[in-house]
Chain A
C-alpha cells in the first residue's frame, strides 16, 4: 500500500503555481522527510494530502483514498499543521475530551498517560502553554486518534533543542509501538537524518528527488580530481552539482554503479550535502531539463 500517491499534482494560487507536476509515490511504513527551501510547496503538498486544499491539476490519493473523503478517510490520517494550532481558551483536558468526541478510534488511556508523563496540567489553558508544550499536546492528539499516517508540517521549527529532541523521541516511540507511517516537513536536516528513512526534496515547486535514504546515500558520491568537463563522464553518471577551479573539479554525481576512474578521489555524501546539492541545482536550473526522479529501492 502506498501512503501517498500523487499523479501530475499541481496547485495554483492566483497566477502563481505553488506546486507543479508533482508525481510521487511514498510507501507505507516509512518515516518520510520532506525538505526544501521556504515557498517550495511543502505545506501545499501536505495540505493537499489531508484535503484542506483541492488540487488544480492531477490527483492525489492517501492510503488508497481521496483526502478528507468521508469519516473513514479522516480517521486514517492524523495532521499537525504548522504552528500547532490549538483552541487557546480551552484547557488541556478539554482538548482530550474534544478528541474523544470527534475520533471514533480515540485511545483515551494513551492520551491521559502521555499528558501525565510529559507533565502537562490538565486544567491549564492551551493559550498559556509554551511552544514545546503546545507541540507535545498537538502530537498527543494526533497520535491518540490512532491514525495509520501522521502528517506533520514543520512540527519542531519553533522548539528549543531540548523540546525538539523530546518531541522526536516521542514520535519515534509511537512509530516503534504502533507502526504508524509519518510524513514530516522540516528544515533541520540533522533531525531528519536521525528519524527519516525516506526523503523527498521539493524545490522550485517540483519534486527534485525522492527515495529510500540509504539507497540515495549509496548512489551519490562527491568526486574530486583534476579539472574535467562533466560531459566526458561515463553515461551512467549524472552530475547534480559541479564546481571547478582552474585546476580542480568537484562534482556531486549520481550513479548506480561504482566510480572506477582512478583520477577521482571518491567521497561519501552526508544527507545534508545531498539535500543542498539538489536544492542548489533547482535554484540554478529551474527552467532547464528536469532531473530524473524517484530512486528505486
Chain B
C-alpha cells in the first residue's frame, strides 16, 4: 500500500500528481502486481481533496493498463513498469554514488551537482532523439 501526498506549489494538477506517484512506486518496485491502492474515500479524506480527482487519476491509470478496479473490493495493481530493469538498478546506483562522491570531492555543492546532472541529462536526451530522427 502506498500513501499519496500533494505538493500544492508544484503547479501540477492534483490528479496528475497521484498518477505520477503510482507510476513512480511501480518503477521503484514499491508497488507490485496484486497490491491494493488506497480507496477513493481514504485518499479524499486523507489529503482533503475532491473524490472526483482521485477517481479521475484511477481511471487514467486503468486506461494505461496499470491498475484494475474490482467492484466492491478496491483498485488493484495489474501492470508493471519496472520489468527487467529493476535488476540493473543496483549497479547503476553504485556507479552514481561513486560519481557523486567524486563530484563532492571536486568541490561541487548540491545545487551545482543537480544543475550539472539535469543539463547533462537533457543534453543526452536530445542527442538520442536526434539519433532516432
Contact = CB atoms under 8 A, between A and B. Distances in A.
Name, among B6, B44, B53, the residue most crowded by chain A CB atoms within 10 Å (CB to CB): B44
Interface residues of A, number: 22
B50 A31 contact: yes
Contacts, number: 52
A173 interface: yes
B11 A268 contact: yes
Contacts of A168: 48
B41 A176 contact: yes
B49 interface: yes
Contacts of A177: 41
B112 to A, nearest CB: 28
Interface stretch (A10-18, A193-201, A221-229): A193-201
Name, among B8, B41, B47, B49, the residue most crowded by chain A CB atoms within 10 Å (CB to CB): B49
Contacts of B54: 176
Interface string B21-52: 00000000000000000001100111111111
Contact of A195 (B13, B40, B50): B50
A169 B48 CA distance: 4
B14 interface: yes
A83 interface: no
- The binding surface of chain B is classed by DSSP as helix
A172 B45 contact: yes
A175 to B, nearest CB: 6
Contacts of B47: 169, 172, 194
Interface string A267-282: 0101000000000000
Interface in A63-85: none
B45 A176 contact: yes
Interface in A198-222: 214, 217
Given A177-B41, A194-B6, A172 B49 contact: yes
B8 A195 contact: no
B129 to A, nearest CB: 21
A30 B104 CA distance: 52
A21 interface: no
Contacts of B53: 197
A30 B44 CA distance: 14
B11 A172 contact: no
A165 interface: yes
Contact of B51 (A175, A214, A270): A175
Nearest to B39: A176
Contact of B49 (A170, A190, A195, A268): A195
A251 to B, nearest CB: 19
A235 B77 CA distance: 47
A218 to B, nearest CB: 10
B45 A169 contact: yes
Contacts of B45: 169-170, 172-173, 176
A188 B45 CA distance: 19
A194 B8 contact: yes
A176 B44 contact: yes
B77 to A, nearest CB: 21
Nearest to A171: B48
Interface string A152-192: 00000000000001001111110111000000000000100
Interface string B96-127: 00000000000000000000000000000000
